[in-house]
Amino acid sequence: MLTRRRTLALGAGLALWPRGPLAARTRVTGVQRRTVGDLTVTALLDGHLDLDPAEVLSGVDAEAIPGLLERAFLAGDAVATAVNAYVVESGERTLLVDGGAGDAFGPSAGHLLDALAASGVEPEAVDTVFCTHLHPDHIGAFTTADGGARFANAELVVHESERAFWSDASNFADAGEMMRDFAAAAQAALAAYSGALRPIADGADIAPGVTARHLPGHTPGHSGLVLDPNGETLLLWADIVHIGPVQFPRPEATIAFDVDPAKAAATRRALFDEVATDRLMVAGSHVSFPSFGHLERRGDGYAFAPARWQYEL
Ligand SMILES: [Zn+2]
């Protein structure tokens, strides 16, 4: 029932609501938490990047893209692509999955530490940092301003092919400026954890009930995590999808940041088939919040069914 005091409080709240484009806006802090067996998984919103699908996508007819965006009720040149990281907690372990964009792409992303604080996890409590791959939108919070390890009590876990690829300067001798910048950022992240680096192979145990899944193509060591602690399963698929409104219906669409586009598309196709067939719950680094959901087949492609919003942490 609305008492007089409650009505007054609501009125005060409404006065603070932004009123149009000139009002100061506050960025939304995104935190969503679910349980998977005896694990707790928290999605943390680092922010978003505006990507122009026509500019960054290949492997699909350019003329098809506007129609796909329209079908998803999107207009304009840019699609806001979420940047997500995750925390997986068991009784005794605290695992951070990826580190957001830091300051690599401007103020729309790089807010992972705020989301981590809102979720109640202290950086010192993180004992394992799992890096899905070493692209700059996944490693931003790994280092402090002076190049040290932000997660000082953690080991950095990354696929051996990923470590090897970004560490080998000869891979970038003839590369463009973007790739050389990416490599420099990857090498800085690896250097910060040089005393606590754990290169892994496909299927490695990361924590109880958590194993690595190699999903190569986007980068050589690109890996997700399979959580199946007590018969429940969640697949964190990392960068299998960047622009959902195009890549769910057309999995053959590849992105400019793929190191091996053909392999990335083949990996996505096979994984989509598996996820839809097995009715697996997934979470994606660039899937819109809450970022958890399922895939259903639709025609020759797929559609994403988002999980319900969680109202309590
Ligand atoms: Zn990414």
CATH number at residue 50: 3.60.15.10
**pLDDT tens per residue, range 219-250:** 999 999 999 998 899 999 999 999 999 999 99
What's residue 183's pLDDT? 97
The answer, yes or no, to whether residue 12 has pLDDT greater than 50, is no
Q: Domain for residue 43, yes or no?
A: yes
What is the band of 265 on the pLDDT scale with cuts at 50, 70, 90? very high
Q: How many domains does the chain have?
A: 1
Q: Domain for residue 155, yes or no?
A: yes
Instruction: Round the average pLDDT of the chain to a whole number and report it.
Output: 92
**pLDDT tens per residue, range 129-151:** 999 999 999 999 999 999 999 99
What's residue 13's pLDDT? 42
From the CA of 238, how far away is ligand 1's center (Å)?
Answer: 7
What's residue 313's pLDDT? 75
**Residue list, CB under 5 A from ion ligand 1:** 137, 239
What is the reported pTM?
0.91
From the CA of 213, how far away is ligand 1's center (Å)?
Answer: 16
Q: Domain for residue 249, yes or no?
A: no
Q: Domain for residue 12, yes or no?
A: no
Q: Domain for residue 243, yes or no?
A: no
From the CA of 130, how far away is ligand 1's center (Å)?
Answer: 14
Q: Domain for residue 308, yes or no?
A: no
From the CA of 80, how far away is ligand 1's center (Å)?
Answer: 13
Domain hosting 67: range is 29-233
CB-based burial, 60-90: b 16+ in 10 Å, e otherwise: beeeebeebbeebebeeeebebbbbbbbbbb
Q: Domain for residue 105, yes or no?
A: yes
Q: Taking residues 80-90, what's their average pLDDT? A: 97
**pLDDT tens per residue, range 248-260:** 999 999 999 999 9
**pLDDT tens per residue, range 26-61:** 888 899 999 999 999 999 999 999 999 999 999 999
From the CA of 148, how far away is ligand 1's center (Å)?
Answer: 22
Q: Domain for residue 159, yes or no?
A: yes
